[in-house]
Structure 1
Amino acid sequence: MNAYIPILGLFALATLFIIVSINLSGHVGPQRYNRAKYDSYECGIQPTPQPVGGGRFPVKYYITAMMFIIFDIEIVFLYPWAVSFNQMSLFPVLAMILFIVTVFIPYFYVLRRGGLDWD
């Protein structure tokens, strides 16, 4: 139990810091209402009202986002595998090659169909 005392101390210190920061910002900050401060801001362009349907994004946006997530997850699996590469036998190497192939087949399919072209 003695090994966990520093961790509990850091947790208590972080909690105390959060509580003090939130309370202090409410008391120290200015309390003036300003319409421009509460208005939505879109890179200097006046915001336009939302369409009735909520607005539509192209499907290519979602494909690009999903491809990013897939490759991000792939990196999460590849990094520990690469760190312990020298200690592996043939089976983990073949398993990772199979994993990479199963990720890159849909990528090349989307690339060939023009899903990543921003016309």
Structure 2
Amino acid sequence: MTDPMLMHPYFGVFILFVFTFLAFNTTLRIQRFISRKLADKKNEKLKLAAYECGPLPIKQQNRISHQFYIMAMLFILFDVEVIFMFPWAIDFKALGMFGFIEMLSFIGFLSIGFIYAWKRGALLWHNIK
């Protein structure tokens, strides 16, 4: 009697997937081990020197305010929502009163979201020093 699991049409694909996963991980670990053994870990002045010419690099903090990301997400959100108004504006008469009420409700929800973001201070740009 054969196992019904072995008779499944995708059993071979599953075996290949497992084999590929194991082979990839094994290859990755071998490569990592070899590269760490062969790497030259000496710090030389030439490695740390500026390339060709120019000022010496100064290590600076790379701080980007989270406010930038909030502003970008709000811009994309409101931009995409305004794009949804174009098909409505092009075919305004064919949609009739139903389309008009739908667009008024859409603009209402958009306004509520805008007022909420405004009240929460998401549209203010704070200076970080």
Query: What's the TM-score once normalised by structure 2's chain length?
Result: 0.47
Structure with the bigger percentage of helix: 1
The structure showing larger relative contact order (alpha-carbon pairs under 8 Å, at least 6 residues apart) is 1
**Greater C-alpha Rg:** 2
